[in-house]
C-alpha cells in the first residue's frame, strides 16, 4: 500500500497510532491506512517499527523519536507540523504515551494549536486487566516502579490503594519486585501476564506469597495486576 492518500488527511495533525503488542495480526485497518497516508512516522525504535511496516507494505518515511532524542527531535517534528505535514506517532508496541516519552510531543503539539487524533488499538495494560480475574471497574496504572530512589515510599503509598493496581516490569527485576510487593503489601492476589498475544503467552494467577517465593526465571514482557488492599488474599 502506497502513500497516494496523503492529501485526504487533515494537515498539521498528529495521529497517535496504537500498534500490536506481539501478534502482528492485531493491527487495525484504520491504523494501516493512517500510517500509509501520513507524511512521516515518528517511531520509538525505527528498526522494530520497520518490521511492522514491511509486513503491511507501508513505505512511509520513518524518523526516530524517543527518550534519548526527544528534546532535539521534538522541535523538528513541530516545524514539519506547522508547515502542514501530518505525522503518525508510534511506540515499540501498544499505545504511544504509556510508559514512553511520546506525551512530550503531544503536549507541544497541543500548545502550538495543532490537532491530535487517536487511532486506538492494542494495549498491554488493558489486555492484562481483561485476563487477570481481578476487578476492572476501577484501577490505577503506575507504569514502572522506581528502581531505587523513592521506591519504598512509592510502594507504601500504593499499598493503601483501594483499586486494582497495574505495573510493568522487566524479567531481570520482577523477582525483586514480587518480594518487595509482598513485604510492603502483604499477601494479595496477583496476576502476571507474560508475552501477551505472542507464541509463548502465559498468564500466571496466584498470590504474592506464592509467586515471590518461587525460584523461576521470567522471560519476555511482563505486566503485573495486583489486587487492592480490600480484596481477599490469594491462595497458593
User: Looking at the domain covering 6-119, what would its CATH class be?
Assistant: alpha beta
Nine-digit cell string for 16 = 497517535
User: Looking at the domain covering 124-226, what would its CATH class be?
Assistant: alpha beta
- How much is the pLDDT for 232? 53
CA–CA distance, 142 with 225 (Å, rounded to integer): 11
Q: pTM here?
A: 0.87
CA–CA distance, 216 with 174 (Å, rounded to integer): 10
- How much is the pLDDT for 233? 53
Q: What are phi and psi of 118, to 5 degrees?
A: -95, 135
Domain ranges of the chain: 6-119, 124-226
Low-confidence ranges of the chain (pLDDT < 70): 1-8, 231-236
- How much is the pLDDT for 231? 65
Helix (H) / strand (E) element for 104: namely helix 102-111
| Interval 183-225: pLDDT, tens | 999 999 999 999 999 999 999 999 999 999 998 899 999 999 9
* Cell 480484596 sits on residue: 231
Amino acid at each position: 500500500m502506497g502513500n497516494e492518500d496523503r492529501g485526504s488527511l487533515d494537515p498539521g495533525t498528529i495521529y497517535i497510532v496504537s500498534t500490536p503488542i506481539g501478534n502482528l495480526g492485531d493491527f487495525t485497518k484504520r491504523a494501516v491506512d493512517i500510517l500509509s497516508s501520513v507524511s512521516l512516522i515518528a517511531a520509538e525504535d525505527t528498526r522494530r517499527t520497520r518490521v511492522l511496516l514491511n509486513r503491511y507494505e507501508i513505505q512511509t518515511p520513518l524518523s526516530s523519536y524517543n527518550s534519548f532524542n526527544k528534546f532535539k527531535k521534538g522541535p523538528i517534528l513541530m516545524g514539519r507540523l506547522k508547515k502542514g505535514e501530518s505525522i503518525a506517532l508510534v511506540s515499540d508496541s501498544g499505545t504511544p504515551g504509556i510508559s514512553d516519552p511520546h506525551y512530550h510531543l503531544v503536549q507541544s503539539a497541543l500548545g502550538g494549536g495543532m490537532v491530535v487524533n487517536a487511532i486506538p488499538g492494542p494495549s498491554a495494560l488493558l489486555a492484562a486487566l481483561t485476563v487477570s480475574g481481578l476487578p476492572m471497574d476501577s484501577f490505577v496504572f503506575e507504569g514502572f516502579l522506581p528502581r531505587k530512589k523513592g521506591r519504598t515510599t512509592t510502594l507504601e503509598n500504593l499499598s493503601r490503594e483501594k483499586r486494582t493496581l497495574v505495573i510493568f516490569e522487566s524479567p531481570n527485576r520482577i523477582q525483586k519486585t514480587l518480594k518487595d510487593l509482598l513485604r510492603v503489601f502483604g499477601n494479595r492476589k496477583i496476576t502476571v501476564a507474560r508475552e501477551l498475544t505472542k507464541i509463548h503467552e502465559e498468564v500466571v494467577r496466584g498470590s504474592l506469597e506464592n509467586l515471590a517465593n518461587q525460584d523461576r526465571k521470567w522471560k519476555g514482557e511482563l505486566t503485573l495486576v495486583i489486587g487492592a488492599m480490600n480484596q481477599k488474599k490469594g491462595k497458593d
